[in-house]
Amino acid sequence: MLRTALVTLRHPAAMAVRSQPSSDMAAFREKLRTSKHVAVLSGAGVSAESGIPTFRGSGGFWRTYQAQDLATPGAFARDPSLVWEFYHYRRELVLTKEPNKV
């Protein structure tokens, strides 16, 4: 479903205005085609399809570490070396993978 929000930053009251959900794929494709900026938020399963370990799944990072130990400003303040190592590993791992068809 496509859900669009009509938001005008100069008029905060307009932030509550929303259109009805739509399943018009042609309209969605046209909007996507003409968009200058697109952000995609997805779940961990999409990465797993490319061979990137998830955080909570089998062998996931959060089975060994707590999120607070690796992915917060507090973690960096306590142990910057561990946090740098974690993100370095993730970057290196992702560089070896290819996008999947999802």
Predicted local distance difference test score (pLDDT) of residue 73: 92
Predicted local distance difference test score (pLDDT) of residue 19: 63
CB distance 10 to 30 below 8 Å: no
Q: How far is CA 54 from CA 45, 46, 58, 63, 74, in A?
A: 7, 9, 8, 10, 22
pLDDT by residue for the chain (102 residues), tens digit each? Answer: 333 333 333 445 544 555 677 788 898 899 999 999 888 777 767 788 888 888 777 777 777 888 788 888 999 999 999 999 988 988 998 899 888 776
User: Does this model's pTM top 0.85?
Assistant: no
Predicted local distance difference test score (pLDDT) of residue 18: 55
Cα–Cα distance measured from residue 44 to residue 95, given in angstroms and rounded to the nearest whole number = 17
CB distance 94 to 53 below 8 Å: no
